[in-house]
Amino acid sequence: MDKIREYRNLEAPDSIEPKQMQDFKQQTGNIYKSLNVIAKRANQIGVELKNELHDKLQEFASATDTLEEVLENREQIEISKYYEKLPHPTILATEEFLHDKLYLREKGEDSAE
């Protein structure tokens, strides 16, 4: 789990910045393979962030909340705003990939041991 949360230590930009396509080709030798790795990692980060946000929001929810209480819950609003300000998972995954923070493993590598 610690490896998954290393993206929090990255200094990722808040918006998309242009990248050199050759930078993506260096690690895998194939641009499309690199983009596939980034897409899978972005999905992992997105799912983790969604689950984390849901868990934090559940801490403040109660079974007897009325609609007005739910809409006025300041703690939930602040938590939601924090997660909205985080860089998009695709940006985080791209930064991890370009800074060699991802471990790439082919499907057949496990059986080689």
The predicted-structure confidence for 40-56, as pLDDT tens digits, reads as follows 999 999 999 999 988 88
Domain containing 35 equals 20-104
Q: What band does 113 get if pLDDT is binned at 50, 70 and 90? A: very low
Domain presence at residue 9: no
pLDDT at 50 (0 to 100): 92
The reply to whether the predicted model has a pTM over 0.85 is no
Domain presence at residue 49: yes
Higher pLDDT, 36 or 3: 36
Domain presence at residue 7: no
Mean pLDDT of 87-104: 88
Dihedrals phi, psi of 100, to nearest 5 degrees: 55, 40
Alpha-carbon distance of 113 to 48, in angstroms, equals 30
Domain presence at residue 59: yes
Rounded to a whole number of angstroms, the CA Rg of the chain reads 18
Domain presence at residue 6: no
Residue closest to 7 by CA, chosen among 46, 39, 34, 57: 46
pLDDT at 76 (0 to 100): 81
Domain presence at residue 5: no
Alpha-carbon distance of 59 to 34, in angstroms, equals 38
Give the number of domains in the chain. Answer: 1
